[in-house]
Amino acid sequence: MYKKISIIGAGGWGTALALLLAENRTAVRLWAHNPEVTKELVSQRTNEDYLPGVRLPPNVYATGNLADTLDADLMLLVPPSKALREVCGKLAGLGLPKEAVIVSCTKGLEHDTGKLMSEIIEEILPENPVAVLSGPNHAEEVAQRIPAAGVLGSKSPELLEPLQRVFSLPTFRAYTSDDVMGIQLGGALKNIFAIGAGVSDGFNMGDNAKAGLVTRALAEMMRLGIAMGGRRETFFGLSGVGDLMVTCFSRHSRNRKVGERLGRGESPAQIQESMQMVAEGIPTALSAWQVAQKLGIEAPITYEIYSVLYENKPPHEAMWGLLGRPPKPESDRDHRQG
């Protein structure tokens, strides 16, 4: 069992993970980038901006000094995807011990490179063992001890059983897989489709339209995810269809809320300026569209969301563009036709 755990990133999910893992009576150190968040975590034991209504237990220690987190045998990385490369560089510069096991808990793709979070970690911290965590896990519910399940993935089988023990708690069930690519791709791509589901909600298009959109989103997730190296069966699991469902339908979903606001007439710039937390579907839409073009994969939903976010396409045109596509069979055996 890991005795010293550090969590890098004190947003909603990082804070919820600290609360979750503290149940094992293990010392957990939680690093926050924002000095104001650090001050509140230390003095008030709360994080009202990112995870209101909860208090840190005594065995969670908050810090704003990244060097304080190095004395750990297990490190969870939970920064926004756009900040992961910088955070890893700082950890490398500070001399993170190569024995520390790193678990990536961030869902996204890097701009331009199309790299997954584990690939960035392996590039900058090549000697550290790496695993990933994903699944249908809203921070608000995990922090309130509402039952949830997730999946841990690693290319190193010897990591999975010890990590599974750490994450197996009364209100959290942890499964394991060796499909590191598929686990991360499901968790990243579903955020794009949740924006589309939110647009449907903003237009009051009803349950039938939203169910059809989400079903075709799963087909697109699989088509692009398999082309990028994931396994088909993974997308039918917790990090695929499970995460897709909760993110497209939950009231907690930031990405669904972004889409709903788009459907009601707000601009992407207005929405982002008003948000405290990052909606990962916004940067991932750009990254995924870049990858789809590079691989020659038809990804109509990804394209329409990208067009709304980055090319000022009116959301109603994007939605009707999807509905007006030429008829085709539902089966998609070669994973290339949308």
Rounded distance between C-alpha atoms, residue 173 and residue 333, angstroms: 33
Rounded distance between C-alpha atoms, residue 23 and residue 57, angstroms: 9
Which residues belong to the annotated binding site for NADPH?
13, 33, 50, 107, 139, 254, 278, 280
Burial class (CB in 10 A: 0-12, 13-18, 19+), 313: middle
CA distance readout (Å), 66 to 71, 83, 226: 11, 14, 36
Which residues belong to the annotated binding site for sn-glycerol 3-phosphate?
107, 135, 190, 243, 253-255
Q: Residue 181 CA to chain centroid, in angstroms?
A: 13
Which residues belong to the annotated binding site?
9-14, 33, 50, 107, 135, 139, 190, 243, 253-255, 278, 280
Task: Provide the residue type at 320 as one letter.
Answer: W
Q: 10 Å Cβ neighbour count for 14?
A: 24
Rounded distance between C-alpha atoms, residue 277 and residue 46, angstroms: 16
Which residues belong to the annotated binding site for NAD(+)?
9-14, 139, 254
Task: Provide the residue type at 122 as one letter.
Answer: E
257 flagged as catalytic: no
Active-site pick, 82, 115, 190, 328: 190
Radius of gyration of the chain (CA): 19
Which residues belong to the annotated binding site for substrate?
107, 254-255
Report, as residue numbers or ranges, the catalytic residues: 190
